[in-house]
């Protein structure tokens, strides 16, 4: 009987190592079909899941309460599984080089509890070669087993889009790869249990690793192009959104828009690709240029805020700037690598300590990671400048009267609205006499 058949018949279990924005939806999806052990080092997170609370908002409390995942922070429980999925984050260091410590740590944990006949599949985003050249030696050293003889490996890059309720795990084609034909088929069959639209069998593990970093690098470059246009059009006095709307009337327009590029994928993955390329003697030209542009957008927005304050005859250091949104994207509590923080830090250089509001964000994480105390939206009043930084649904649904109330008794021409996400009707805002700027 194959490992796939044993898992399907519930004679064997799978484990998901790392229960964050990626790992949790995977564990929940598989638990509807087979037996799943969900492991995470964070005992507090495990306790929340056991209590039926989803801190990621990716699955939802109701789903968590009724799911059969065996949540644990006890790594020895992994010995009960034969198919391991590693879904831990792969961030970057302060010098923009890959930080592989989470995936290395997860490999040590899995290795210590690895049994013969197992398959280990990595979903963490890495540059080509990490799975075979870095993770395998760790698994072998910790387990005393031999890869290819006692256990096998594969790679299947995560493609989940946090906060997206349309493009979900089940309806995104899954790239799968294995160290040989046998492991590839086993891995593909296991994932086909939950991926409704099917899987794509990559030719090798390195191909699958490369596909992940390249698909996000491509998006990064396209957004960088739009951001560069936005900066140029700002100098020209041309509205970028109007240009984009006109351009998109052509059938082959790509539909990208300018914006802040953060998070744990698009703002990080290109550096993994560049790192490995430079090790081989190739210095990236396009990818690094795109990264430089996107990393500078927070300062660009902050400078636009300062200009508007000056033109409105505000005393910059005394101006009350309110920022709506801190997460890296809309409708998610995830603040990792949020570029809204770049706006905040740039404003601080001018002596402004902005008030930050985000009902979706994790308040504890915002304080711990960035030293920012989030404020309840009900407590916002007498603002000089309102910055719509993240397009949460709750923000987009605000009426103009609600927006107006944030400013208190200011005259309309003294009210500054900075629309980073271009969600407001420009004509309506300008008819009210606001000082308005959008990216």
User: Using one digit for the tens of pLDDT, what is the confidence trace for 277-303?
Assistant: 888 899 888 999 999 999 999 999 999
- Please check the confidence at residue 263 and state whether its pLDDT lies above 80: no
Residue with tokens 């831990």: 88
pLDDT above 70 (res 166): no
Q: What is the pTM of this model?
A: 0.90
Segments of the chain assigned to CATH 3.40.50.720: 3-202, 296-439
Distances (CA, A) of 33 to 8, 10, 122: 8, 9, 21
Q: Are 156 and 176 in contact (CB under 8 A)?
A: yes
- What's the pLDDT at 269? 87
Q: Where in the chain is the domain with CATH 1.10.1040.10?
A: 204-295
Q: What is the pLDDT of residue 164?
A: 62
Q: How much is the pLDDT for 11?
A: 94
* Local confidence band at 148 (pLDDT 50, 70, 90 cut-offs): very high
Whether domain 296-439 has CATH 3.40.50.720: yes
**Percent of the residues in the chain that have a pLDDT greater than 70, as a whole number:** 98
Mean pLDDT of the region 250-257: 92
Q: For 8-57, what is each residue's pLDDT tens digit?
A: 999 999 999 999 888 999 999 999 999 999 999 999 999 999 999 888 87
Give whole-number Cα distances, 183 to 2, 303, 426, in Å.
Answer: 10, 53, 55
Among 135, 147, 265, 385, the one annotated catalytic:
265
pLDDT single digits (tens) 373-394: 999 999 999 999 999 999 999 9
CATH code of domain 3-202: 3.40.50.720
DSSP 3-state of 382: coil
Distance CA 309, CA 319 (A): 8
pLDDT recorded at residue 62: 86
Distance CA 48, CA 360 (A): 17
Q: Examine the pLDDT at 265 and tell me if it is beyond 90.
A: no
Average pLDDT score, the chain: 92
Q: What is the pLDDT, as a whole number, of residue 184?
A: 97
CB 293 within 8 A of CB 223: no
Q: What is the mean pLDDT of residues 418-437?
A: 91
- Per residue in 59-80, pLDDT (tens digit) is 888 888 888 999 999 999 999 9
Residue 162 has pLDDT above 70, yes or no: no
pLDDT above 90 for 160: no
Give the pLDDT of residue 268.
85
Query: pLDDT band at residue 165, thresholds of 50, 70 and 90?
Result: low
pLDDT of residue 412: 84
**pLDDT at position 39, please?**
97
The CATH number fitting domain 204-295, selected from 1.10.1040.10, 3.40.50.970, 3.40.50.300, 2.40.50.140: 1.10.1040.10
HEC profile for 249-284?
CCCCCCCCCCCCCCCCCCCCHHHHHHHHHHHCCCCC
Residue in 158, 169, 163, 157 with CA at minimum distance from that of residue 198: 169
Q: How confident is the model over 202-246, as pLDDT tens digits?
A: 999 999 999 999 999 999 999 999 999 999 999 999 999 999 999
163: pLDDT strictly greater than 70: no
DSSP, residue by residue, 97-132: -B--HHHHHHHHHHHHT--TTEEEEE-S---TTHII
**Is residue 147 annotated as a catalytic residue, yes or no?**
no
pLDDT tens per residue across span 300-356: 999 999 999 999 999 999 999 999 999 998 988 888 889 999 999 999 999 999 999
Place of tokens 């799968």: 176
**β-strand partners of 37:** 15, 70
The 10s digit of each residue's pLDDT in 82-137 is 999 999 998 888 888 899 999 999 999 999 999 999 999 999 999 999 999 999 99
Interstrand relation of 199-201 and 174-178 (parallel, antiparallel or unpaired)? parallel
């Amino acid at each position: 009987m194959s490992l796939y058949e044993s898992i399907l018949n519930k004679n064997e279990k799978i484990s998901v190592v790392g229960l964050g924005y990626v790992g949790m939806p995977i564990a929940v999806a598989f638990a509807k079909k087979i037996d799943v052990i969900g492991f995470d080092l964070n005992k507090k997170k495990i306790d929340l899941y056991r209590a039926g609370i989803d801190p990621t908002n990716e699955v939802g409390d109701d789903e968590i309460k009724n799911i059969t995942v065996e949540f644990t922070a006890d790594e020895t429980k992994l010995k009960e599984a034969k198919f391991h999925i590693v879904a831990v984050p792969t961030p970057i260091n302060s010098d923009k080089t890959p930080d592989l410590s989470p995936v290395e740590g997860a490999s040590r944990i899995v290795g210590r509890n690895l049994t013969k006949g197992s398959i280990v599949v990595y979903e963490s985003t890495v540059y080509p070669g990490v799975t075979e050249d870095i993770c395998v030696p760790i698994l072998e050293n910790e387990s005393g087993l031999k890869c290819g003889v006692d256990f096998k490996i594969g790679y299947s890059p995560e493609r989940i889009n946090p906060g997206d309720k349309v493009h979900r795990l089940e309806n995104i084609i899954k790239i799968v790869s294995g160290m040989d034909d046998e492991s590839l088929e086993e891995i593909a069959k296991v994932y086909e249990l939950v991926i409704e639209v099917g899987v794509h069998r990559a030719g090798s593990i390195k191909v699958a690793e490369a596909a992940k970093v390249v698909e996000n690098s491509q998006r990064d470059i396209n957004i960088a192009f739009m951001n560069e246009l936005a900066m140029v059009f700002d100098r020209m006095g041309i509205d970028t959104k109007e240009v984009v709307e006109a351009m998109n009337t052509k059938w082959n327009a790509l539909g990208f828009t300018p914006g802040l590029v953060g998070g744990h994928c698009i703002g990080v993955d290109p550096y993994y690709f560049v790192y490995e390329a430079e090790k081989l003697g190739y210095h990236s030209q396009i990818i690094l240029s795109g990264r430089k542009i996107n990393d500078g957008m927070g300062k660009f927005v902050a400078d636009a805020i300062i200009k508007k304050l000056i033109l409105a005859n505000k005393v910059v250091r005394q101006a009350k700037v309110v920022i709506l949104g801190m997460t890296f994207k809309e409708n998610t509590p995830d603040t990792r690598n949020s570029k809204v923080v770049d706006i905040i830090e740039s404003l601080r250089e001018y002596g402004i300590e902005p008030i930050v509001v985000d009902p979706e964000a994790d308040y504890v994480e915002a304080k711990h990671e960035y030293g920012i105390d989030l404020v309840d939206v009900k407590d916002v009043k007498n603002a000089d400048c309102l910055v719509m930084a993240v397009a949460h649904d709750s923000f987009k649904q605000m009426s103009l009267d609600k927006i107006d109330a944030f400013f208190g008794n200011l005259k309309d021409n003294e009210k500054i609205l900075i629309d980073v996400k271009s969600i407001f009707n420009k004509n309506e805002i300008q008819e009210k006499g606001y000082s308005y700027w959008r990216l």
